Amino acid sequence: MKTRKERQNQPVSLNDAAIHNREENLANVETVENEVVGDENGGLEENHPNFIESNTNAITLEDLKEKNVIPTFSDNSLTISHQDFIGAVTDVARETFGELTPVECRVSHPVIGRIPSAQHKKASELLDSEKTVFYQRMAFCCHVMGVRREINGQTVRLCIGGARAYNEDKLYGRKQSLKFKVFVGWQVKVCSNLMLTCDGNSGTMECMTEADIMQKTSGLYNGFKPKMEATLYQLENLQATPIPEELFCRIIGRMRLYQVLPVGEQRKLPALAISDTAVNAMVKNYVTNGNFGKKDGTDITCWNLMQLANEAVKQSYIDKFIDRNQNCTDFAMGIQQAITGKDTRGYSWFIN
């Protein structure tokens, strides 16, 4: 059997052997709960904000493997488990970028049950061994060790991860492709805000096997790797465009107006996936956020606008979070183009 280091120096293998080797890799992936994630040296870093909040809870890989029931299709064909999805993506990430920090995994929408022999027991009498659960939605992320930069006074790190939601899959029929989302992008250390771009968002991937996940993830990661410094420069350049308070208020007003426009009018404008609730959170953070909110005598910038939006959409459900996060980045870059007179996509509507 080849050593772990030898496997990392080879191209990603999509055959059965690569999938079987994942068990060894998963054994080396630590998971963390609540607000503890890995630092750049592989240790643990305390009091770190979660990359997504909403109604999610932290879970360990061990609990996923031992306590989380794996749903099947109607013909009892097995679905791809959460832990196998994580293993497939992290395998490819190691091959492409190098060693990873521990995985932060969050789940939501638990479906609670019990074993048949305990069907007549009261809920208070159930033993842990008689309870069953599976989580409909799961998201995870981790950082590439040693890949960090300083931009606009903040430390950012290269982050990989993914999400899946069983509610998007048709489990009531025979075995068919399952839906997954994978991402890679830069993340602000101080607040754990992701800053995803279209080059780092897979969109919905339909996969039948773990090999399919690995193949499509490899295409995304290898396509992003040559562009990651250029992407970082675009993000850093957002700091160069100030947004006076009057203009910020106008943008917020337009964002609220967008929510109630007829669908036909919305289609004529750039897509905005930031909900009215998230817009309200942006306003609150504009006043209260010590890192990216307003400061006396200083205008915020398009960089701040993006962070305020990213912080707000962390309250999204897992199945919506990745696309909404990318939309925040697109929106901030579009506003910058509108302010500087370079808009070609219709973002000028939000500032006029």
Q: Would you state the pLDDT for residue 49?
A: 82
Q: What residues contact residue 9 under an 8 Å CB cut-off, 6+ apart? A: none
46 and 36 Cβ atoms separated by less than 8 Å: yes
**129 token code pair:** 């061994």
SS3 119: coil
Task: Give the pLDDT of residue 91.
Answer: 97
Please report the pLDDT score of residue 268 as a whole number: 96
DSSP letter (8 states) at residue 342: -
Q: Is 134 helix (H, G, I), strand (E, B) or coil?
A: strand
**DSSP state at residue 76:** -
Q: Is 193 left (phi over 0), alpha (psi -120 to 50) or beta?
A: beta
* DSSP character at residue 201: B
Q: Which residue type, as a one-letter code, is found at position 165?
A: A
Burial class (CB in 10 A: 0-12, 13-18, 19+), 299: middle
Q: How far is CA 344 from CA 251, 269, 329, 336, 337, in A?
A: 18, 11, 17, 12, 8
pLDDT (tens digit per residue) in 285-324: 999 999 999 988 899 999 999 999 999 999 999 999 999 9
pLDDT at 135: 92
Asked if residue 105 lies in contact with residue 58, where contact means CB atoms within 8 angstroms, the answer is: yes
What SS3 string covers 284-303? HHHHHCCCCCCECCECEEHH
What is the DSSP secondary structure assignment for residue 89, as one 8-state letter?
A: H
For residue range 240-268, list pLDDT tens digits in order: 999 999 999 999 999 999 999 999 999 99
pLDDT interval class at 44 (50, 70, 90): very low
How high is the pLDDT of residue 350? 98
Residue 120's pLDDT band (cuts 50, 70, 90): confident
Q: For residue 34, how many other CB atoms are within 10 A of its CB?
A: 12
Distance CA 330, CA 273 (A): 10
pLDDT tops 50 at residue 3? no
Which structure tokens are listed for 332?
């901030």
Q: What is the pLDDT of residues 46-104, one digit of tens each?
A: 456 889 987 899 998 888 888 888 889 988 899 999 999 999 999 999 999 999 998 99
One-letter amino acid for residue 249 of the chain: C
pLDDT tops 70 at residue 174: yes
